Amino acid sequence: MDYQKLSKDILKLVGGPENVAAVTNCLTRLRFNLRNESKADDKAIEALEGVSGIVKKGGQYQVIIGTDVPNVYNAMAKLIGDADQAVKSDEKMKWSDRLIDTLTGIFTPILMPLTAAGMLKAVLAVLVALKLVDSSAMTYQVINFMADSTFYFLPIFLANSAAKKFGCSPMLAMMLGGILIHPNFINLVNAAKDGGPAINVFGLPIYAASYSSSVIPIILGVWFMSKVEPIADRISPKAVKFFTRPLLTILVSGIATLCVLGPVGYVIASWIGTVVTTVNTYANWLVPTIIGAVLPFLVMTGTHHALTSIGINNRMTFGFDTFIYPGQLASNVAQGAAALALSLRSKDKATKEMSWANGLTAIFGITEPVLFSITIKHKTNMVAASIGGAVGGFFMGLLNVKNFSGGSPGLLTLPSYIGLDAPMSNFYLACAGAAIAFVVSFAVSYVLNRPKDGSPETAGKEEPSAPTAKSGSNPGTGSQILCAPLKGKAVPLSQVDDPTFAEEIMGKGGAIIPEEGKLYAPCDGQIYTVFETGHAVTMVSDQGAQVIMHIGLDTVKLEGRYFHIHVKEGDRVKTGDLLGEFDLESIRKEGYDPVTPVVVANTGDFREVRAKAGEVRPGDPWMDLT
């Protein structure tokens, strides 16, 4: 792969260097913050050799490369200078999107040293378990402190990435991290805990807490520094600004962090630990089961990195994590297993080869390649991966399987479940949990991807996740026209800022940006489902089309506010009947995108599903089902 050429092509197609506010990379993606996302040419980028797809979520424009992404990122960094500069975009994001974007921006850059440290710990654990190295030997001690360096100096690593995210000086932020773990401060803390003099500065008390390996305190401290530094710059005389700006910044931020923000972060981390302990006591199976089931959807949007901080905090607080990594291990292995099963079922050479290669990669811990090339295109594989991940996560959660050193969850990091003071049974249970996830997912995928009507080519493409035709309907016969259910501008599904619809996971169709808050029946048929929150209605046409109408994106979070549906399940409706009303302006003011996807869930029953683009009115012929 020509990394230089690919980076140039991507940079050009996202709108050039002037349109890039920031870019960083995770294990498989380039993550852009673009000043104007509309300048990016989605289709041209997806068509590039070396690009597996794009995802737009949480204020980020993510280009999926695969395991070659560090090379592409390095080439791009040379083209645009400080590639991971602070984001200066004026784009307004919802608080939830901003939180995810911030956590992702802080933790993504340190995944590499965290993975290296985790793998060193895993290798060391294997050497000790096999009695090739004794825990008292010098070799053990050297490798152990090499691995511990990342965790011990974690505040400094986080300070650097947080500073770039918050827009302040990385060097001063790293100095702030060094203050929290300086040996003299640690000695003062230990002395205070042993009954020595209390710590204070200018008479202000400093809480006796140790911050090595901590996560939250330094993030709060750097955030505060990002507010102090501009003020220090503004009040410093120009002639001596070079001296006074860093002096004021670090003096104020350092004291504030030691006296207030550090203790607050310490308490928050302790609260999180208490919650983890409580849940672990009464329902230790719950979180790993949920993560095992939904992780592919989180990875799809890039929000899975928000879980990283919780897993790290658990290991730094308790010495192990029983929530995040076991569930992720089960999910990754399950998704790989589903792809391997598809590779055995499919007769299509390209699908077979891609499923096999990317399935193995997923089992070893990297799932983006298989997710975007196979899983989201074969609903049966998504179902299989979710079931297998949930079962494997439930098993490991129920038996309280512990992860000690992190790493990318997969077979290669199974040794991270070996702890020096933990019984080997913990490692064996982790292996068993991974095996259960593999077997369950493989079996479900193998069954669901069975050839249909004697044609293996259709395997995995006809699993509707919506209504089935009721009695009296005549599914799949001839062509059918669906009328526009809304007044507004019709756009392709690919322009919808939600991968579930844009990648046609639910089925093919179109979307309408509404101009008024009224939803009409697109055809004659029967109402199948009315969601309790009123944000979505499904129906079955008299010709058997299974139609899903979803008003807005993520509007389920409104919990029914602004929606009033006039029909109920089982009602017969005619084309143009008013199904419901919604307060369009209020939905927009709440920060939700009102674009309304309309998809045909049983797309496989039709040779072609084609929707027109442009201005439409209720009752206009809009979608052609052949």
Catalytic residues: 26, 550
Q: Looking at the chain, how many residues does it have?
A: 626
C-alpha span between 74 and 49 (Å, rounded) = 18
Do residues 528 and 538 make contact, with C-beta atoms less than 8 angstroms apart?
A: yes
Residue 197 gets the label, from left (phi > 0), alpha (psi -120 to 50) or beta, of beta
C-alpha span between 555 and 558 (Å, rounded) = 5
C-alpha span between 385 and 375 (Å, rounded) = 8
C-alpha span between 299 and 334 (Å, rounded) = 14
Strand order in the sheet with 609-611: 480-483, 621-625, 609-611
CA distances from 268 to 100, 105, 223, 284, 553 (A): 18, 21, 16, 21, 32
Nearest alpha carbon to residue 317 among 180, 440, 206, 216: 216
Adjacent-strand bridge partners of 509:
599
C-alpha span between 468 and 470 (Å, rounded) = 6
At 240, the amino acid letter reads: V
C-alpha span between 45 and 9 (Å, rounded) = 8
For the record, the structure tokens of 602 come out as 């049983």
Q: What is the DSSP code (8-state) at residue 410? A: S
First-to-last CA distance in the chain? 41
C-alpha span between 393 and 433 (Å, rounded) = 7
- Diameter over CA atoms, the chain: 86
C-alpha span between 390 and 433 (Å, rounded) = 10
DSSP labels, 565-615? E---TT-EE-TT-EEEEE-HHHHHHTT----EEEEETTGGGSS-EEE--EE
C-alpha span between 263 and 432 (Å, rounded) = 40
Do residues 402 and 280 make contact, with C-beta atoms less than 8 angstroms apart?
A: no
Residue 115, number of CB atoms within 10 A of its CB = 18
φ/ψ of residue 198, rounded to 5: -70, 150
C-alpha span between 384 and 440 (Å, rounded) = 8
Residue 271, number of CB atoms within 10 A of its CB = 10
Nearest alpha carbon to residue 546 among 502, 609, 500, 613: 609
Q: Which long-range contacts (CB under 8 A, 24 or more apart) does 603-607 make?
A: 603/504, 603/507, 603/508, 604/458, 604/461, 604/462, 604/464, 605/462, 605/475, 605/476, 605/544, 605/545, 606/476, 606/545
Do residues 496 and 553 make contact, with C-beta atoms less than 8 angstroms apart?
A: yes
Quick one: which H or E segment has residue 509?
A: strand 508-514
Q: How many CA atoms lie within 13 A of 610 on its CB side?
A: 5
C-alpha span between 99 and 161 (Å, rounded) = 15
